[in-house]
Structure 1
Amino acid sequence: MRGLARRCSDHDRQRADDAGRSRARPAPTRIRRPLARALAAAGLCLLLLLQIFAGPGTALAQSTTKGPSGFPVPRFVSLKSERVNVRIGPTLEHRIGWTYVRAGLPVEIVQEFENWRRIRDWQGEEGWVFHSLLSGRRTALVTPWEQSGTTPLRAEPRSDARLVAELGPNVLANVGSCRQGWCRISGEKFAGWIDQTRLFGVYPDETVE
């Protein structure tokens, strides 16, 4: 059994600068402010840039275990909305780099800044989205790094268990649980256990309850 679920593709992510696709919104008109406010704004921008681009070992570097939200960083989440704009920086004034057009896609949060989350997708692309556009619901893509071939889905979490289905690359699935190198996943017309290393959306040694 192949192709049991709709596969994820580049059509699920629209580049903002592609002809006929989503365009970046124009930046709001700036109103001139007194010098003091201008200097304060410049200082805030500088601090923001330092926090975004500061490397490991600096005082502004993000924690590798827990972000400002109290949740671990990095961690996997999924897209909550059918349409999610990804910006090049953590403000509404930053231009849109691309737009996801499918809910449920798994992404990895790699940094937090206030109510913004820097995410990385299955192609290694990174950008900023507002936190309310993300969900804690766990999903995964089957071998998005491969162009062909299939991955067996089994009835039990072991390699000699009964074969339930063969899933091709980029099949999107819900993650129910993961333990000892196997994940229980489900989707449109399929459910079973899969080798955890064949998924983008969970870490190889992660336990999901």
Structure 2
Amino acid sequence: MTRTRLFLRQCFSAATASLLVLLSTQATAQTMVSVKAGTLNMREAPGTNSPVLWKLSRGYPLKVVQRQGQWIKVRDFEGDDGWVARSLTSTTPYHVIKSPVANLRTGPGTGHRIKGRLEYGETVRTVAKQGSWVKVKHQELGQGWVAKRLLWGW
């Protein structure tokens, strides 16, 4: 193999590796925020003059789609997009229940006792993760474990 060919092959390999690292980083670096304020207005466009689409309560998790100045475009667990003021969000991890009902258990697994039932749309504070289970804190029921497949968020 000529030196030119070897050089080109090495450059191609390095470029391919760099691109793969960049793509995998972007895919896994999903930016999430949660509602910091008691209530937050999700708006049609950035700015306080824009119509309010939804009112979201404290802890509600949102995926960041775009940033524009002091506003961020977000997507909720149902796929709805809107804009929120960045100052009213937090990086405190939360999940929202995406199934009709989710059991809150005393441990990470179906063999553990059911502590309570959570309903679609309820938010819970994320405490820890273990395999396919998430330890959460519910405002009234306290801490417990929920199957990850029943949640959306961090």
Does TM, normalized by the shorter one, top 0.5?
yes
Amino acid at match of 1:153: L
Q: TM-score, normalised by structure 2?
A: 0.70
State which of 116, 119, 144 in structure 2 corresponds to 1:165.
116
1:102 is the counterpart of 2:102: no
Q: CA deviation at 1:85?
A: 2.6
Deviations 1:101-156 (A, max 9, x none): 5222121112223332111123321011121111111122212x53xxx3222222
**Number of residue-to-residue matches in the alignment:** 128
State which of 69, 76, 93 in structure 2 corresponds to 1:138.
93
Choose 1 or 2 for highest CA Rg: 2
The list of structure 1 runs, each at least 4 consecutive aligned residues, that deviate by more than 3 angstroms after superposition, is: none
Q: Which residue of 2 aligns with 1:201?
A: 153
Q: Which residue of 1 aligns with 2:44?
A: 88
SS at match of 1:65: helix
Deviations 1:147-195 (A, max 9, x none): xxx3222222122223222323222211111231110011112321110
Higher strand share: 2
Amino acid at match of 1:120: R
Alignment of 1:17-56 (within 5 A): none
Q: Which residue of 2 aligns with 1:124?
A: 79
Q: Distance in 2 between matches of 1:80 and 1:165?
A: 26
Let me know the Cα RMSD of the aligned residues.
Answer: 2.4
Q: Distance in 2 between matches of 1:164 and 1:93?
A: 42
* Percent of residue pairs identical: 25
Q: Distance in 2 between matches of 1:93 and 1:151?
A: 36
Q: Any gaps of 5 or more consecutive residues in structure 1?
A: 1-63, 67-71, 203-209
SS at match of 2:149: helix
